[in-house]
């Protein structure tokens, strides 16, 4: 009995996520038939100064809400909180907001339940969801996040009257010597069918590593797949058009959108 060809069979797809997260997307692509190549463009590293994060962890119980914007923020915060899940109930009574299913899944892995998971993952949408859920005036909210995170979310919360404490939980830095000689040769020879980006920081890191002009030269001939509009906007600012973007901003949806694009499903991509 013949098996139906997998939709990404014969497609070589570059994954630029950090090393610890790249396999998740790579495995999804491989399951659809692709030959995935992991070439992390960014690294996740601790803050230069750990004291503010440690202070926030020590005061965690004093906050009404903690808003986690990424799985990286979850890991970084809970590690400093003294063990997965806070160990001895240090987050008891604190409500948790998770942005995106990957963040919620990481919290669940640490044994923490999510009180609010906004459907709109953008800063504006999260602010609106929190405003709809409660009166934010005077509400103490902790926001552990990346050093380069956008100000939209804390600005929206403060505008609604919340008392927001931002703390750098981790730093995002460009990988050195990206993408390596072998992958660069494949890009030069146009042997990469698609390049995936799951964050604006990965786009900027590629531009930093290669130089903006060279990055555009290498990316323009291939299909650029962005996980969402913020990432696509970063690519556009570089001068690279995003060809594929899923309507749901998850790695599963991104892999499926690529499969739909290469099999000619028009609703799954934009040109």
Q: Span 66-73, mean pLDDT?
A: 94
Beta strand 163-174 pairing with 140-146: parallel
On whether residue 112 sits in a domain, the answer given is yes
Strand partners, 225: 196, 244
> In the prediction, which pLDDT does 9 show?
96
Verify that 109 and 210 share a domain, yes or no: no
Verify that 163 and 75 share a domain, yes or no: yes
> In the prediction, which pLDDT does 248 show?
87
Q: Tell me the pLDDT band of 143, cut-offs 50, 70 and 90.
A: very high
Last residue within a domain, chosen from 120, 144, 172: 172
**pTM for this one?**
0.86
Verify that 130 and 223 share a domain, yes or no: no
Q: Span 128-149, mean pLDDT?
A: 89
Verify that 122 and 184 share a domain, yes or no: no
| pLDDT tens digits for range 92-136 | 899 999 998 889 999 999 999 999 988 877 766 777 888 887 888
HSE (side-chain half, CA atoms, 13 Å) at 199: 26
Q: Tell me the pLDDT band of 5, cut-offs 50, 70 and 90.
A: confident
What is the DSSP code (8-state) at residue 151? S
Residue-wise burial string across 48-73, b where 16 or more C-beta atoms lie within 10 A, e elsewhere: eeeeebeebbeebeebbbbbbbbbbb
Residue 205, pLDDT above cutoff 90 = yes
Question: Do residues 117 and 138 lie in contact, with contact meaning Cβ atoms separated by under 8 Å?
Answer: no
Verify that 56 and 147 share a domain, yes or no: yes
3-state secondary structure 186-254: HHHCCCCCEEEECCHHHHHHHHHHHCHHHHHHHHCCCEEEECCHHHHHHHHHHCCCCCECCCCCCHHHH
Structure tokens at 184: 């660069």
Question: CA geometry: angle at 166 spanning 90 and 230, to 5°?
Answer: 115
Q: Tell me the pLDDT band of 188, cut-offs 50, 70 and 90.
A: very high
- Residue 228: exposure state from Cβ atoms within 10 A (0-12, 13-18, ≥19): buried
Verify that 36 and 55 share a domain, yes or no: no
On whether residue 1 sits in a domain, the answer given is no
**Can you spell out the DSSP letters for 57-125?**
HHTGGG-SEEEE-SHHHHHHHHHHTTSGGGTTTTTTT-EEEE-SHHHHHHHHHTT---SB--S--SHHH
> In the prediction, which pLDDT does 3 show?
66
On whether residue 157 sits in a domain, the answer given is yes
Q: Tell me the pLDDT band of 268, cut-offs 50, 70 and 90.
A: low
Question: CA geometry: angle at 207 spanning 205 and 147, to 5°?
Answer: 30
Q: Span 6-23, mean pLDDT?
A: 95
On whether residue 7 sits in a domain, the answer given is no
Q: Span 68-90, mean pLDDT?
A: 79
Residue 73, pLDDT above cutoff 90 = yes
Last residue within a domain, chosen from 152, 172, 192: 172
Last residue within a domain, chosen from 137, 172, 207: 172
Q: Tell me the pLDDT band of 1, cut-offs 50, 70 and 90.
A: very low
On whether residue 32 sits in a domain, the answer given is yes
Structure tokens at 269: 């991509």
Specify the number of domains making up the chain: 2
Q: Span 180-195, mean pLDDT?
A: 94
Q: Tell me the pLDDT band of 265, cut-offs 50, 70 and 90.
A: confident
Domain limits for position 212: 12-41+175-268
Query: For a pLDDT cut of 90, what percent of the chain falls above it?
Result: 73
Verify that 125 and 216 share a domain, yes or no: no
Q: Please name which of 116, 134, 153, 118 lies closest in space to residue 230, comparing C-alpha atoms.
A: 153
Residue 83, pLDDT above cutoff 70 = no
């Amino acid at each position: 009995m013949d098996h139906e060809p997998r939709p990404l069979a014969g497609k070589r797809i570059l994954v630029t996520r950090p090393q610890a997260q790249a396999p998740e997307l790579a495995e999804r692509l491989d399951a659809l038939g692709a030959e995935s190549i992991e070439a992390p463009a960014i690294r996740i590293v601790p803050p230069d100064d750990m004291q503010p994060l440690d202070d926030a962890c020590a005061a965690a119980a004093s906050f009404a809400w903690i808003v986690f914007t990424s799985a990286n923020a979850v890991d970084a915060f809970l590690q400093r909180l003294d063990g997965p899940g806070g160990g001895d109930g240090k987050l008891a009574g604190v409500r948790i907001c998770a942005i995106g299913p990957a963040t919620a899944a990481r919290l669940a892995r640490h044994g923490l339940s999510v009180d609010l998971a906004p459907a709109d993952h953008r800063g504006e949408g999260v602010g609106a969801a929190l405003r709809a859920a409660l009166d934010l005036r005077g509400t103490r909210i902790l926001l552990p996040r990346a050093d380069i995170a956008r100000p939209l979310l804390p600005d929206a919360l403060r505008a609604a009257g919340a008392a927001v404490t931002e703390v750098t939980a981790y730093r995002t830095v460009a990988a050195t010597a990206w993408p390596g000689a072998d992958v660069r040769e494949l890009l030069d020879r146009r042997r990469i069918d698609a390049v995936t980006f799951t964050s604006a920081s990965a786009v900027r890191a590629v531009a930093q590593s290669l130089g903006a002009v060279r990055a555009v030269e290498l990316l323009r001939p291939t299909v650029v797949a962005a996980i969402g509009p913020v990432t696509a906007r970063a690519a556009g600012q570089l001068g690279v058009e995003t060809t594929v973007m899923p309507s749901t901003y998850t790695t599963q949806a991104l892999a499926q959108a690529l499969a739909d694009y290469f099999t000619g499903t028009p609703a799954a991509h934009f040109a």
